Structure 1
Amino acid sequence: MQSLMTPGHKPVQVEILEAEIRRVCGSFDLEPMRRTGVVNGDVTTRRVGPFDTAIVALDASEVARNTRSIRQDPGEHFFLLVQDAGQCRVEQGDQVAELLPGDMFLVDSVKPSSFLYRGERSNQVSLHIPRDEMVHRFGNACTGGLSISRDDPLWLAMRAVIAKMLMEEGAQAQLGEAFLCLMGAYLHSTRGMGTANPAETLLSRALAMIDRHRADPAFGPRELASRLNVPERTLQRHFRPLGETPGHRLLNRRLELAHARLSARNQVAEGVTAVAFDCGFNDLSYFYREFRKKYGTTPGAVARCH
């Protein structure tokens, strides 16, 4: 099984690595294999499609998240854990899996979990998927921990989409939507989601439509509601579980597309303007203002940096 990422192991103080894991993934406790106060590991982050992603390398004994940690740090994500090198035993509730390179496990952040490495070097890719959106799309079928079997053809499809997002800097959000659709199909086949309720169906269609038409400056919440054949107010009500409005979702997707385009290649000042128009903005001052609000820097600075 070819690795998705190059493992990165370097000597680091246990407290420092644990602090990095907590900063990136939430409240987890790190148990080293040796009493030297040092482990070999590293934690890096990157944006993979629409998902924040952690690349975690370590040779610890165990990493765990208990009920006390969950009370202090309520979970907001599912972690789609991809074992990229080495091995790991994952335990969550009654779900137990021995992960070898290529295996995947969907970790529920609101349930206690433990990851046993037994001191062997391990490298993992963890996609952080917003929990509210997953539960609203798929219901309780995605909760409580889930081992994704490589015997299922959908495993291969999901891995291919992850690899595509990792290979392409600033990969399109459409790949993220494709991945969530594959995840939904897997949950349906293994845990029997049953018939989706109308709210879930409408929201899923709305999210997919936003990703498909976000680069069109004429496409807005009114057009979205019209294509879905529902009133705008009804559409807004279905977005409430996500804590955002259709307009805010559309704006964020346009900004993410612009950021990915600016990060993917060198841009000159005129190029920034072209990117803004190509990503669905027809007001440059509005684009610059919202871009800075979201990313804390200007579009030109992102282009020069890359």
Structure 2
Amino acid sequence: MEWSTRPARPDQPFGSWADDLAAAFVRLEPRRIAEAPFAGAISKVDAAPLQISLVKASGHTVHRLASHIASSTDDLCFVNLQLEGLGRTSQRGHEQISAPGDLAVADTTQPFEIAHRHNFKLFCFAVPRRLLPDALFDHPRLGLSATEAGRALSRTLTSYAELCLTGRQSATTSAMLGAHIAELIAHAPDFLADISVERVHTPVLLSVMLDHIARHCDDPELGAPALAKKFRCSERYVHRLFAATGRSVGEHVNEQRIAACVRELLDRNSSHKTIAEIAFDGGFRDISHFNRLFKRCNGLAPREFRRTAAH
């Protein structure tokens, strides 16, 4: 579902935006911050048990008023993941400032204000309140962008949201992703806290470790010991986490490395690089091991693969 507003009349600065917000979320009242022309767009998908929306708009504020709540039966929370711009969410005397990569929580059963002074873009996860712990509403501090672990969690949520919004998944797949997103959000405060990482729920930690592997596969030291050190847990615990995927840590790492090397071999801008240089840049230390693994994954040795791709 999609909504788009570009008001044509000066006396109606938001056009149908209030109705668009009500259709996509709950009844909200938009208010102007500046005199600049307004434009807004919402794309929404159902990923039961939650709904995911991509919101892009000019700067303005939205208010959830007591009168809205009195006539509503909704029991939702908005968990907004800031993508662009700077947001400010105020509720119950508490203020959350959100830079790109940060989360902010707004409970629709109580009044709130969400303000953006300039153009912004965000993902809104509309989550049933019962799926989120009470601790999430007690002066939440969800500045994910401030730490590497938080940034990894933010990227994971973004990837899942983008996947759902493509609309190419079945209802079952979307529901699975939605349930996982809700679980990631529910455990975000624990993950950012200075606690033993082994207390974090398994799907959360596994997702972030897989994201770390995807971003750092070119590190020759990457493996179970490095992950254990990075995420402050035992090496045995790392292996136990990855057992649930049906593949070892090494297999996940090598898959990412081979994929990176394939991209390099297909890239004409890398045609000056030798096979060994590409392998070492990808994180491999043993060229013979790389050649065997590459052929097993792609059916051709790296040199043959490059030659075939060139034709």
TM-score, normalised to structure 2, is 0.50
**2:117 is the counterpart of 1:123:** no
Q: Which residue of 1 aligns with 2:219?
A: none
Aligned length: 180
1:110, distance to aligned residue in structure 2 (A): 1.2
Q: How does 1:124-273 map to 2 (within 5 A)?
A: 124-134=122-132, 138=133, 140-143=134-137, 146-150=140-144, 151-152=146-147, 153-154=149-150, 156-167=152-163, 169-170=168-169, 171-188=173-190
1:154, distance to aligned residue in structure 2 (A): 4.6
Equivalent residues of 2:47, 2:175 under 8 A apart: no
**Residues 59, 9 of structure 1: alpha-carbon distance in 2 compared, 3 angstrom cutoff:** farther
AA aligned opposite 2:153: A
Which deviations, in whole Å up to 9, do the C-alpha atoms of 1:232-265 show, x marking residues without a partner?
A: xxxxxxxxxxxxxxxxxxxxxxxxxxxxxxxxxx
Equivalent residues of 2:5, 2:39 under 8 A apart: yes
**Residues 15, 54 of structure 1: alpha-carbon distance in 2 compared, 3 angstrom cutoff:** same
1:29, distance to aligned residue in structure 2 (A): 0.5
1:123, distance to aligned residue in structure 2 (A): 1.3
1:48, distance to aligned residue in structure 2 (A): 4.6
Which deviations, in whole Å up to 9, do the C-alpha atoms of 1:243-291 show, x marking residues without a partner?
A: xxxxxxxxxxxxxxxxxxxxxxxxxxxxxxxxxxxxxxxxxxxxxxxxx
AA aligned opposite 1:132: R
Q: Which residue of 1 aligns with 2:22?
A: 22
1:161, distance to aligned residue in structure 2 (A): 3.5
1:105, distance to aligned residue in structure 2 (A): 0.9
Q: Distance in 2 between matches of 1:114 and 1:149?
A: 18
**Residues 167, 182 of structure 1: alpha-carbon distance in 2 compared, 3 angstrom cutoff:** closer
Q: Distance in 2 between matches of 1:56 and 1:183?
A: 19
1:22, distance to aligned residue in structure 2 (A): 1.4
Q: Which residue of 1 aligns with 2:45?
A: 46
| SS of corresponding position for 1:179 | helix
Equivalent residues of 2:38, 2:57 under 8 A apart: yes
Which deviations, in whole Å up to 9, do the C-alpha atoms of 1:184-206 show, x marking residues without a partner?
A: 333446799xxxxxxxxxxxxxx
Q: Distance in 1 between matches of 2:162 and 2:105?
A: 18
TM-score, normalised to structure 1, is 0.50
Equivalent residues of 2:40, 2:56 under 8 A apart: yes
Q: Distance in 1 between matches of 2:111 and 2:177?
A: 30
Q: Distance in 2 between matches of 1:166 and 1:49?
A: 15
Which deviations, in whole Å up to 9, do the C-alpha atoms of 1:61-107 show, x marking residues without a partner?
A: 31111222211224421111011112221111232122222211122
Instruction: Mark the structure with the bigger radius of gyration.
Output: 2
Equivalent residues of 2:18, 2:30 under 8 A apart: yes
Once the two structures are overlaid, the 10-residue window that deviates more, 11-20 or 106-115, is: 11-20
| SS of corresponding position for 2:109 | coil
Once the two structures are overlaid, the 10-residue window that deviates more, 68-77 or 46-55, is: 46-55
Q: Which residue of 2 aligns with 1:57?
A: 56
Q: Distance in 1 between matches of 2:55 and 2:182?
A: 23
Equivalent residues of 1:91, 1:115 under 8 A apart: yes
**2:112 is the counterpart of 1:113:** yes
| SS of corresponding position for 1:148 | coil
Q: Which residue of 2 aligns with 1:286?
A: none
Q: Distance in 1 between matches of 2:163 and 2:68?
A: 34
Q: Distance in 1 between matches of 2:54 and 2:138?
A: 23
RMSD: 3.1
Q: Which residue of 2 aligns with 1:195?
A: none
| SS of corresponding position for 1:68 | helix
Equivalent residues of 2:78, 2:106 under 8 A apart: yes
- For structure 2, the 5+ residue unaligned runs are 195-311
Percent identity among equivalent residues?
15
Equivalent residues of 1:39, 1:58 under 8 A apart: yes
Q: Distance in 1 between matches of 2:160 and 2:119?
A: 25
**Residues 158, 101 of structure 1: alpha-carbon distance in 2 compared, 3 angstrom cutoff:** closer
Q: Distance in 1 between matches of 2:131 and 2:123?
A: 21
- For structure 1, the 5+ residue unaligned runs are 1-7, 193-306
Q: Distance in 1 between matches of 2:163 and 2:92?
A: 34
Q: Distance in 2 between matches of 1:107 and 1:77?
A: 9
Equivalent residues of 2:50, 2:182 under 8 A apart: no
